[in-house]
Amino acid sequence: MTNPARRLHLNAFVMANGHHEAAWRHPDVRPTDALTLAHYVDIARTAERGRLDSIFFADNLALPRNVRFNGHSAFEPITLLSAIAAVTEHIGLIATASTTYNEPYLLARAFASLDHLSGGRAGWNIVTSAGQDEARNVNLAERPDHADRYARAAEFLDVATALWDSWADDAVVADQAAGIWADVDAIRPIDHEGEHFQVRGPLNIRRPVQGHPLLVQAGSSEAGKEFAARTAEAVFTAQQTLEDAQAFYRDLKGRLGGYGRSPEDLLVLPGISPVIGRTEQEARDREAELNSLINPQYGLAQLSAMLDTDLTDVPLDEPLPDVAPGTEGNQSRFDLVVGLARREDLTVRRLLERLAGGRGHRVVAGTPEQIADEIERWFTDGAADGFNVMPPTLPGSLDDFVDLVVPVLQRRGLFRTEYDGATLREHYGLARPTVRDRHPEKENAA
């Protein structure tokens, strides 16, 4: 049998009014729409019309400090995606949830619920929560250290996956004549006793449609990559250059063998923020128009958060001052932002402009063909299995991507023209995990 052609994957990263930090001020945008369910349903339906693999919502557990200057909505993602599940059929639904500030039993249950309610379309963006403010909303004075967060995350995933597997797939018998609802031998406690968690189990909901929801990860530090290689099936990452993206791709795929996994078991999805114009000039004008709406005070607050350092008073027309390395926050973004400023010798003002479109993710302004060229180049040159598409404004820029760029990718035979599977795992071409480890006798009998 020949291998089917390698397929591109596209996820829409949905953020309130769009990814450009001044999106909410753009005349095409109705800023308060982002406070309504209708806005997100419209976006999900557009993504589905474009045959995208999934939509994704980021999340954290603190109000941003600079909400004075930016549109903010922050519906809890599992709640929001449950509502969207009811009015969509195909699109995958990826919610962010933290392993640092949750309990595995509670989250395993919530994701199993979303997976059942959506007919097997749930995905979990597993984050360890890099921000300091979140800790203070959940009974802690300080955020736990980077290494501790990842150690807890690894055990968290062991517990969550064991809980999903605490039910064999055929545990529900529902034999009305015999009066037997469930095969209790196929529902087992997990009896987990670890450093961070003691969990008896079993879970109080049957095994998810997909076995496990799709497991996504978005940390790119050393510890983040190791965690991804062990656990994740898709990885979101911010990469500025083709060379950096190729190195990251090779590095991450190279780690999978150490965990008995193959390179195809994990998809790498770098971010791309496409600024689309009918001509290149129109795209550049659009980018300039958005950048003209930037508030540097907001940009400096964002930069301070990304570099975990107070930079709110630094002069705008001088180079980025020295910042102490070794953050306990977001290590990969720290390296990316400082690397960009130094490599291109940017003043703080120019750096803020470069970050405004995608907070360090790559921004590409051009015609639909030029954007498709960039996507194809990274996909074929060993830098990406697909993309995390970050529309500059919403809903307009996602409409443009779906109506103008997706058809080019389809004509080139890179992207699907129809869904050929039902679940999110099927969209991503990833196997459904078995319960072999926990129910060996059932597996043998099958």
Tell me 137's DSSP state: G
Least distance between ligand FMN and beta carbon 192 (Å): 24
Q: Which is nearer to ligand FMN, 10 or 435 (CB)?
A: 10
Shorter beta-carbon distance to ligand FMN: residue 47 or 404: 47
Nearer to ligand FMN, 64 or 407 (CB): 64
**Token pair of 247, please?**
């190195």
225-251 exposure pattern, b = at least 16 Cβ within 10 A, e = fewer: bbbbbbbbbbbbbbbbebebbbebbee
Q: With respect to ligand FMN, which residue has the nearer C-beta, 101 or 167?
A: 101
Q: Which CA distances in Å does 429 have to 248, 300, 371, 436?
A: 21, 41, 24, 21
Shortest distance, position 223 Cβ to ligand FMN, whole Å: 6
* Closest alpha carbon to 24 in 430, 356, 388, 401: 356
8's CB contacts (< 8 A; 6+ apart) are: 375, 379, 385, 386, 387, 409, 414, 415
CB of 58 to ligand FMN, least distance (A): 3
Contact 124, 97 (CB under 8 A): yes
Residue (185 or 251) nearer to ligand FMN, CB: 251
Torsion of the alpha carbons at 83, 89, 91 and 97, rounded to the nearest 10: 30
> By the 8 A CB rule, do 378 and 384 touch?
yes
CB 391 within 8 A of CB 398: yes
Minimum separation from the CB atom of position 177 to ligand FMN (A): 49
Nearest to 252 by CA among 203, 218, 293: 218
E strands, 328-397, in order: 362-366, 386-389
CB 304 within 8 A of CB 358: no
Supply the minimum distance, in Å, between the C-beta of residue 236 and ligand FMN: 4
Nearer to ligand FMN, 236 or 415 (CB): 236
Residues 397, 28: Cα–Cα separation, whole Å: 10
* In the complex, least distance from residue 237 CB atom to ligand FMN, rounded to whole angstroms: 5
We find the least distance from the C-beta atom of residue 54 to ligand FMN, in angstroms, to be: 13
**Residue 12 or 406: which CB sits closer to ligand FMN?**
12
- CB 341 → ligand FMN: shortest distance, Å? 18
Residues 6+ apart with CB under 8 A from 277: 283, 284, 285, 286, 365, 366, 367
Number of Cβ within 10 Å of residue 386's Cβ equals 24
Taking the complex as a whole, the smallest distance from the CB of residue 238 to ligand FMN amounts, in Å, to 5
CB of 167 to ligand FMN, least distance (A): 29
Q: Of 143 and 425, which CB lies nearer to ligand FMN in the complex structure?
A: 143
Helix axes 104-117, 146-164, angle to 10 degrees: 50
Residues in the site for ligand FMN, rule: CB under 6 A? 58-60, 96, 127-130, 218-221, 223-224, 236-238, 271, 330-333, 388
26: left (phi over 0), alpha (psi -120 to 50) or beta: beta
Judged by beta carbon, residue 126 or residue 352, the one nearer ligand FMN is: 126
Q: Using alpha carbons, select from 170, 175, 174, 182 the residue that is nearest to residue 207.
A: 170
| Least distance (Å) between residue 395 CB and ligand FMN | 20
Give whichever of 132 and 410 is closer to ligand FMN, judged by the CB atom: 132
Q: Is the CB of 171 or the CB of 336 nearer to ligand FMN?
A: 336
Contacts 24+ apart (CB under 8 A), 4-7: 5/413, 6/385, 7/414, 7/415, 7/416, 7/429
